[in-house]
Structure 1
Amino acid sequence: MFEQNSPDPDLDVCAGRYVRARATAADAERGRLREEFVYVALPFAGRLASRYYGRGEPPEDLDQVARLGLLKTIDRYEEHRGSFTAFAVVTIRGELRRHFRDHTWGVHVPRRMQDLGLDLNRATGTLSSRYARTPTDAELADFLGVGDADVRAARASLAAYLPLSLNRQVTEEEDTELGDLLGAPDPSLAAVDDRAAMRRLLERMPQRDRRMLALRFWGNFTQAEIAEQFGVSQMQISRLLARSLSWLRITLLSDVVPPWPGTTGEPEVRVELRAGPNRTRRAYVYGEVDRDSAAQLRARLLAALCAAQPRRLVVDLHRVPWMDAAGLASLVAVHTAAQGRDVELTITGVAPHLARLISTTGLGFLLQP
């Protein structure tokens, strides 16, 4: 039925004969007709595949892809579609381009960028011949009808077609690989252990001191700005920051974590009791009252309530620069105990920032100038 001995058969004529013969043939006969038509059209598929030789893919693979496209063309072709040759060219070229797009790119690149990169190469050659120079990005974008950013992205995507291996030798005389020349020492990587250790130490610090460090070194607040937030003097903030940094420095260089200042030995808070007229007891408190010293303050004040059985207890906080939640809880506990023993409790000598804190506990009515 087909002119198999002809060096260049007319595939459109052969396709018409094949379609008409297949329409009236039995199933077994249709398989034979298809094999004969494929045999006749194989050289045509080979010629299309040869146009893509030399692009980094083995010719045998390209021949197989083109033959697959030919089989799809034969199975889908219907005579009313027109020229079989034109239909075969579109289908086989599509298979070949799909093969290059899906199997030859070293790095995944979106299909739009792949197609735009191919168009960019053709446009560069066309405009180079027209202007006798290398075209600019703006000229290429105008020629292709895209934006300048698309042109730059397409040019970058072309570099992903055949990326260099990091194991590639730089020169044939040396054993140095390309990956050995990339990268540099990372100071941040060397500080990972120190950062992890610092995080654990910060968790051991009182919340107030930890917040001061955060405001100073992460928030870039000045000491005066921090002092305004805490309601203390700038000198007090400077002293507290110096104490915190000294403890961190010593701890980082030590194998054993030393206690936070004030947790052992002589406490930072001191309570001095004095007797007054009419069974009045005055308790003068010296130093900071925090979670490490609040227990001692509470014990000394409760002892003053129980031992002397005064009618009035005056707590003087004139020498207390700072008091945290633990210290406030101690005052609440002393107030409760004083009510149970029918003792009048008064708090005096309170700095403005401490007065605001004490008022939040509901003990503002105890404050006196």
Structure 2
Amino acid sequence: MADRAAREAATIELFERRARTSDPAEQRELLEWIVELNLEIARGIAHRFQRRGAESEDLEQVAFVGLMKAATNYRLDADTPFIGYAVPTIRGEVKRYFRDCAWTVRIPRRLQELQGLVAAKLPELEQALGREPSIVELAEHLGIDAAEIEQAMAARGCFRTLSLDWLADDNGWNLAEVVAGEEDLAVSQLEAVDMLQPVLEGLEARDRRILELRFIQGLSQSEIGAEIGISQMQVSRLLRRILDDLRNRLTPVPTAA
């Protein structure tokens, strides 16, 4: 938790330095430092979306794009922690990636047919050569331009839909069991902790104590009042004020279109 708070503080300091300079080169450098400092946030979000039919490296790259967008569009005057803006931005980018992956079922028909031809002829050529053929050898064997073979090989599997019975991990779980039909609550809770931590660090000691007693220890408002020496009505007002403040600070900053 201390590491998260330190990362958030360092990030804000870099944003403040970036806001003070008018040198485009320095602004770009500071933006790169901000992104580098927060790469673990993007990696963590990408990791939580793994085993859903996309390559890990692709998910990380998409998450990094989301992090860059968050760093570029974040505003210091919004009174929102950077992580509170970055997490939903990165998640949105990853979700758009999954949504837009539908384009892969619409690759050119020529490539689909060529993929079928390669799949049919490749075993014959491998057997004849005693090894996996090169693109050039495969192109010569099929009488097709090597560039087209490369395109077909690059798009291999793009239009294949995965069966819900496909084994998605080493524990024997299939895709239907791994991909939740609804929002993954565990993922949401982990991200909520990430977003709340730097905000909670800014609370006064009594406010943090009230939240701990209410939401960790499960005490009633009357019990909290007896614990810290105030009335139940005062506890109610304080809780409402604390939660409203947290909610306002965690609301993502709208960006200009």
Larger Rg: 1
Choose between structure 1 and 2 for higher RCO, CA contacts under 8 A separated by at least 6 residues: 2
| Structure whose residues are more often strand by fraction | 1
| Structure whose residues are more often helix by fraction | 2
TM-score by length of 2: 0.38
